[in-house]
Structure 1
Amino acid sequence: MGGTEHLTVRREGATLVLTLNRPEARNALSLPMLVGLHDGWLDADADDGVRSIVLTGAGGAFCAGMDLKALAGGGMAGEEYRDRLKADPDLHWKAMLRHHRPRKPVIAAVEGPCVAGGTEILQGTDIRVAGESATFGLFEVRRGLFPIGGSTVRLPRQIPRTHALEMLLTGRPYSAPEAAAIGLIGRVVPDGTALAAALETAERINACGPLAVEAVKASVYETAEMTETDGLAAELDRGWPVFGTADAKEGARAFAEKRPPVYKRA
């Protein structure tokens, strides 16, 4: 099913669960992790049996961002994957959802630290749930670095600009309740239950028509920077074909017959 020593992959029904698995380093980014993420996103999109993706971290942490020890000259773990980066110099940006958007919904289940590169990856996910002790923040400026994973572009489009600039320019940590209050995450749950809550949300998505779900997600993102007039026209281009699918007919028929629909992506 894929995966690497720092990224595990498993199926929960129609949900693909990707787990950042380097707990001894609070799941700091590594080459094996980036390669595993890259392959996981592509595998999920290629498998019609996968209807949603959950991204989480092992050991009570989500992701502490870049491996600063490696950046300072300590060497990056997993050098054997270097050929993958040479073959695709954009691989790490695709892995971090900077240069790739999966067509399936991506739900982040956050426990513990989700900072620096972790908060940058978070911005590429669609739905975000976090344990109450989770922490967020973009610490790069405190280290004389730049949050080059997309945050200066994405963050002001996802939360109010004043909050985005405070997060970007101060490098301070944010609690889960504060992150929810400014709109960075959608829901705060008791510690240790973020993954279960994310899987519950995924199951709700999986019960819906997959063609409809993917069309809705695509429409939201592709119309985000359009004028309202252009966006409404683009929405019709995305939406009308869905009504002609067998799945749409099955949804109506199942409702009339008072039974769960059986969608076939057709």
Structure 2
Amino acid sequence: MGGTEHLTVERRGATLVLTLNRPEAKNALSLPMLVGLHDGWLEADADDAVRSIVLTGAGGSFCAGMDLKALAAGDGGMAGQRYRDRLNADPDLHWKAMLRHHRPRKPVIAAVEGACVAGGTEILQGTDIRVAGEGATFGLFEVRRGLFPIGGSTVRLPRQIPKTHALEMLLTGRPYSAREALAIGLIGSTVPDGAALERALELAELVNANGPLAVEAVKASVHDSAALGEEDGLRLELERGWPVFATADAKEGAKAFAEKRPAVYRRQ
């Protein structure tokens, strides 16, 4: 099992839990964190026993984005960190880690507490299901610092929430409460502070109980058809969906229903 000094990896049944672990900096992005995230996504997809991923942060924060102190020092926020050879070998590694250039085939559930701003909100947009503590804070602060939210937000955010809300978030750089984030559709649910991880794991268990081939095909269809017109999207849905009906798992699901027992799926 992977992980780095700023990213911990833990198995909880069929769920892989990735924890941003730099609490003294509100989990601001670092090279060890990005390398750990990148490897965590790949580890989850390579292991058929993993059916879902939960992404969370340590110490009461999700992610405060780029390390601005290190950026001010002129090193892009990566100074003094190991793993430089990994970034040199794959210049897109940090974008893949932030889910800008990579989409895991397993569902990703975000468990947010505290600060989820700037790069934190950008990573959030690459997740599939999002639950947050009532005291969580969201926002894209880049314009306040004369920066650009280059992690995908100018493209993805207007596709995920109404355009006027996306532009307000992008252009004002103001913070959003969890209540506001829920109202505009940036997150799916809120829970009392400190309970986000527990709720995310409950949602993961619901996902894990389903047919994994069906789950992954549904996720792929939703994402792959997002930029298509309705006619092309429906055509893609059939291409993704029909093969699922021919699987042994589909037969097992029907048989388990008839026999009034839990299904035992084998990815076949």
TM-score by length of 2: 0.98
- 1:144 corresponds to which residue? 146
The alpha-carbon deviation at position 77 of structure 1 amounts to 5.2
Match of 1:264 in 2: 266
Q: Distance in 1 between matches of 2:80 and 2:208?
A: 35
Q: Normalised by the size of structure 1, how large is the TM-score?
A: 0.99
Alignment match, 1:32: 32
- Distance in 2 (alpha carbons) for counterparts of 1:78 and 1:264: 45
Unaligned runs of 5+ in 1: none
Match of 2:211 among 209, 212, 235: 209
> Do the aligned partners of 1:129 and 1:198 also contact (CA within 8 Å) in 2?
yes
My pick for the range that moved more, 99-108 or 77-86, is 77-86
Report the CA distance between 1:79 and its aligned residue: 2.5
Cα RMSD over matched residues? Answer: 0.8
1:193 aligns with 2:195: yes
1:220 matched residue in structure 2: 222
Q: Retained in 1: the 8 A contact 2:57–2:63?
A: yes
| Structure 1 equivalent of residue 6 of structure 2 | 6
Match of 1:176 in 2: 178
* Structure 2 CA distance for partners of 1:47 and 1:155, relative to 1, 3 Å: same
- The one-letter code matched in structure 2 to 1:103 is R
CA contact under 8 A between 2:30 and 2:81: conserved in structure 1? no
Q: Kindly provide the CA deviation profile for residues 60-103 of structure 1, in whole angstroms up to 9, marking residues without a partner as x.
A: 00000000011011753552211000000000000000000000
In 1: Cα distance, 2:9 partner to 2:181 partner: 28
**Alignment-mate amino acid for residue 58 of structure 2:** A
CA deviations over 1:35-60 (Å, ceiling 9, x no partner) = 00000000100000000000000000
Does the alignment pair 1:62 with 2:62? Answer: yes
Q: What letter is aligned with 2:211?
A: G
Partner of 1:155: 157
C-alpha distance in 2 between matches for 1:79 and 1:139: 24
Distance in 2 (alpha carbons) for counterparts of 1:78 and 1:205: 40
Q: Secondary structure at the match of 2:83?
A: helix
Q: Which amino acid aligns with 2:204?
A: A
Q: How many residues align?
A: 266
The whole-number CA distance in structure 2 between the counterparts of 1:19 and 1:148 is 23
Shift of 1:227: 1.1
Q: Does 2:82 correspond to 1:87?
A: no
**In the alignment, which residue of structure 2 is the partner of 1:42?**
42
Q: Deviations over 1:181-229 (max 9, x none)?
A: 0000000100000000000000000000000000000000111111111
SS in structure 2 opposite 1:80? Answer: coil
Conservation of the 8 A alpha-carbon contact between 1:30 and 1:78: no
Structure-2 separation of matches of 1:77 and 1:86: 14
Unaligned ranges ≥5, structure 2? none
Match of 2:122 among 120, 123, 145: 120
* Residue deviations 1:114-148 (CA, integer Å, cap 9, x gap): 00000000000000000000000000000000000
SS of alignment partner, residue 73 of structure 2:
helix
Query: 8 Å contact 1:32–1:77 — kept in the other structure?
Result: no
Percent identity between matched residues is: 85
Residue 32 of structure 1 contacts residue 78 of structure 1 at CA under 8 Å; is this kept in 2? no
Closer/same/farther in 2, CA of residues 52 and 73 from structure 1, 3 Å limit? same
